[in-house]
Chains A and B, each alone.
Chain A
Amino acid sequence: MLTPSTAEIVRRSGAVPGSQYLLEVEQVRKAFPGVLALDDVSFRLERGHVHALMGENGAGKSTLMKIIAGIYSPDAGSFRLKGQEIRLTSPLDALRYGIAMIHQELNLMNFMTVAENIWIRREPLNGFGLVRHDEMRRRTLALFERLDIRIDPDAEVRDLSVANRQMVEIAKAVSYDSEILIMDEPTSALTEKEVAHLFRIIRALKAEGKGIIYITHKMSELFEIADEVSVFRDGRFVGEHRAGDVTRDDIIRLMVGREITQMFPKLPAKIGDVVLSIKNLSLEGRFRDVSFDLRRGEILGVAGLVGSGRSNVAETIFGVTPATSGTIAIDGRAIDVRHPSVAMDAGMAFLTEDRKESGLFLLLDVLANMQVAALHSGHVRAGFVAEGEIARLCNEQRERLRVRTPDLDEPIINLSGGNQQKVLIARWLLTHPRILILDEPTRGIDVGAKAEIHRLISELAGQGVAVLMISSEMPEVLGMSDRILVMHEGRLTGVVDRQDATQVKIMELASQ
């Protein structure tokens, strides 16, 4: 068996392996309480190749990757690194074997700087064992130079945008000079420009002979960057193909086991009176003079690059960060939205962008997560929660949205990212909102579920709900919206009607 230290030495020496396959995974099995996450899964990664993994949420992709990265240990199965057997018992082992992972949920330490995060445990030390910050900064800059990234090494991570944090994670993984890189939905928070940047980095890594495992929900990315694609379904591996040999429909069929005819089923909806009117809304330092109307039954998309202030606008409308000037009017009546409870009383609901940060109660179970907003204005008798009623309603939502969970008192941390998102959507649906604000509602959700969510949003619009939807995915914005607002650096640069909207026009407005 190959030990981590030997592997490290061999890798450093630059010796080229004889085996064609960097990594071979055989018959891995992993079960969690109540769930068989991986059932007899096998997988191979070639040198200099990008191997994409696709599958619905909870199908097992992230679990397999976490096992390869040493975070979980498998119940059964074997691993070979360049033809030699290895055992992965901890993340440190995996790193030393040359396996680095970029997580879907960002794993950075918010209160430390970019440089500190990247070089953690590998800080350059002087003779006394103290950290050499100047050297650390120099190395960070050199790394960023190599990857063409422009972020200040001394910036604190908590001050960075989500996209930039993602870039730091990517840089960190690359800095380990590992041979195997696992990327779990690396582009979920990135715009088109940054995605293109990432792909340039990936192609460079491929040329260096590294192997990359790439988990994504986005078909377009798959066909652009991957050499092979493996599909997972229900913890089983259902097919491995060369990317050139399959079509998009083939993959969808493998993933869900059935045909999906329409990606974004937008149903026609009657658009009624103005229900939400925003005039000259400003939040000092974030956005200025934003004005628009939102009508009943309308889906108003909000497009723009990351950092353009879209989420800030949503947070301000909902009262999370009250405006510094401007008015918010509901049904013609101006309301001082000082706190989310005021917004909720006015019939609004808000699904935030970063569910881990401001959406989920990770320590609690699915039921607690789902019911919390509904308790604000109902289902409570003399202080006591109407347990039966609430449980029934939550189960209805669970079925309606097809949330994959053994039951309602499963700790929500055990659910996959996409299912967690569905629970949050259910949370807001239980409040029967008249105005639904969604910030990246399908981030981290697979194709099948995405279509379901889109259909749901369409249905809600058809029932008269006014929807404000922030999204960085062009097809989603173009396919779902009746009108599209575009923002750039805190200002509203344009409003485009559905029939006039094209990707080019929106990108132009977003980059002015």
Chain B
Amino acid sequence: MANLRASDATATAEPRSAGRRRLPPEVSIFGVMIGMMLLFEALGWIFVGQSFIANPLRLKIMILQESVIGILAVGVTQAIITAGIDLSSGSVVGMTAMVAASFAQSAGFTHAIYPSLTGLNPVIPVAVGLLCGLAVGLINGGLIAYTRIPPFIATLGMMVSARGVADWYTDGQPVSNLEESFAAIGSGWWPVIIFLAVAGVFHVALRYTRYGKFTYAIGANPLAARVSGINVERHLVVVYTFAGLLSGLAGVVTSARAITGQAGMGVGFELDAIAAAVIGGTSLAGGVGRMTGTVIGTVILGVLTSGFTFLNVDAHYQEIIKGGVIVAAVIVDQYRLRKRRKA
């Protein structure tokens, strides 16, 4: 049995591509997702007398609802891979929803926030929203990279401040009467398309670009990354800027979909986003995580929420069980990580 080992260096070894001997980790998460859907299907027939899955409208709503969370999860996944975190994403959603909406109000609306800036091309509110998110990300990244403030604290502070900005912006008044062209961004399947596009772009980035390899390296060992020539500080700023940008995008989509901007939008989204990433196999300790897992994790969260609503489960029970699922997901993931190493 000793020939299991590549003990002789003189044997020619062809480069083998990743993942052919070991199943990719997403397979198990995907299995969990399917299992959960089947479970709700079964429970559905028992308790409500209808099918959970064979209902296109429900599926559509389920995915649409989670798309915004998904966009945030794409950003926070990268931050977590660097052994950091972004707690500010939900608040930034609220902030950018307000700001973007204020530049998207219909022409001729008499009580507009900026009366002279109504009826604008939707590109403008979108750009403004993205810029706000980018600015937040830059600040987060700058603080985390260049001071010794732990990411948890830095983004926690931003979480509070950004929400403050959202509240202050219009003194709590919702921003309504938005242009059709702007609202179109949040209509139909667009949120899902945007989510999947963004996930696709960053999946490719993480797997195939130098940016991706360096992100994992920093998460695994920042000192070794530095010694290997990586400018860790600059890289972290980029990662958090992306996260901020994606939060801005999520805010734009949220206000477009609701056709209004409200200061309370996005409350709690950051935790759902983190949960989606963690369920998808991203390790909070850093160095481990894949975008495909995050997407599946997002869907699983959607299945959970939607499934409970379908079964008419009390909202409070939903939260309790959701918490349990997240913990269970992390436990399973730890187990898998340890098995992947020796003993």
* Binary per-residue interface labels of chain B (1-16) against chain A in the complex, 1 for a CB within 8 Å, 0 otherwise: 1101111010011111
Q: In the complex, are the beta carbons of B226 and A320 less than 8 A apart?
A: yes
Closest Cβ neighbor of B18 among chain A residues:
A409
Q: In the complex, are the beta carbons of B209 and A384 less than 8 A apart?
A: yes
A177 at the interface (CB under 8 A from B): no
Which residue of B15, B224, B343 contacts A408 across the interface (Cβ within 8 Å)? B15
> In the docked arrangement, what's the CA distance between A39 and B12, Å?
25
A395 at the interface (CB under 8 A from B): yes
Asked if A340 meets B228 with Cβ closer than 8 Å, knowing A385-B213, A409-B18, the reply is yes
A262 at the interface (CB under 8 A from B): no
Query: Which of A92-100, A146-154, A200-208, A356-364 is near enough to bind chain B?
Result: A356-364
7 A-B pairs (CB sep. < 8 Å) = A340-B227, A340-B228, A360-B221, A361-B220, A392-B15, A405-B6, A409-B16
Asked if A362 meets B221 with Cβ closer than 8 Å, knowing A36-B1, A399-B13, the reply is yes
B148 → A minimal CB distance (Å):
15
- With A358-B227, A376-B229, A380-B209 given, can you name 8 additional A-B contacts, CB distance below 8 Å? A318-B227, A320-B226, A340-B226, A363-B216, A367-B18, A407-B16, A411-B341, A413-B342
Which residue of A39, A71, A340 contacts B2 across the interface (Cβ within 8 Å)? A39
Contacts of B7 in A (CB 8 A): 234, 404
B34 at the interface (CB under 8 A from A): no
Which residue of A385, A399, A414 contacts B9 across the interface (Cβ within 8 Å)? A399
Per the 8 Å Cβ criterion, residues 371-422 of A in contact with B are 371-373, 375-376, 380, 383-385, 387-388, 391-392, 394-395, 398-399, 402-409, 411, 413-414
Q: In the complex, are the beta carbons of A411 and B227 less than 8 A apart?
A: no
Per the 8 Å Cβ criterion, residues 26-41 of A in contact with B are 31-32, 34-36, 39
Q: In the complex, are the beta carbons of B224 and A373 less than 8 A apart?
A: no
Q: Which residue numbers of A lie inside 8 Å of B, CB to CB?
A: 31-32, 34-36, 39, 66, 71-73, 234-236, 318, 320, 339-341, 343-344, 350, 352, 357-365, 367-368, 371-373, 375-376, 380, 383-385, 387-388, 391-392, 394-395, 398-399, 402-409, 411, 413-414, 427
Per the 8 Å Cβ criterion, residues 206-256 of B in contact with A are 208-211, 213-214, 216-217, 219-221, 223-231
Asked if A362 meets B220 with Cβ closer than 8 Å, knowing A372-B225, A395-B15, the reply is yes
DSSP majority for the B interface? Answer: loop
Q: In the complex, are the beta carbons of A358 and B230 less than 8 A apart?
A: no
Q: In the complex, are the beta carbons of B227 and A320 less than 8 A apart?
A: yes
Q: In the complex, are the beta carbons of B213 and A368 less than 8 A apart?
A: yes
B286 → A minimal CB distance (Å):
8
> In the docked arrangement, what's the CA distance between A360 and B224, Å?
7
Contacts of B230 in A (CB 8 A): 341, 372, 376
Asked if A411 meets B340 with Cβ closer than 8 Å, knowing A364-B216, A383-B209, A406-B6, the reply is yes
Q: In the complex, are the beta carbons of B224 and A407 less than 8 A apart?
A: no
Closest Cβ neighbor of B204 among chain A residues:
A384
Contacts of B286 in A (CB 8 A): 363
> In the docked arrangement, what's the CA distance between A383 and B207, Å?
11
Contacts of B210 in A (CB 8 A): 375, 380, 383-385
Q: In the complex, are the beta carbons of A39 and B1 less than 8 A apart?
A: yes
> In the docked arrangement, what's the CA distance between A343 and B228, Å?
10
> In the docked arrangement, what's the CA distance between A307 and B210, Å?
37
B81 → A minimal CB distance (Å):
10
B287 at the interface (CB under 8 A from A): yes
Contacts of B276 in A (CB 8 A): none
B288 at the interface (CB under 8 A from A): yes
B25 → A minimal CB distance (Å):
13
Contacts of B19 in A (CB 8 A): 409
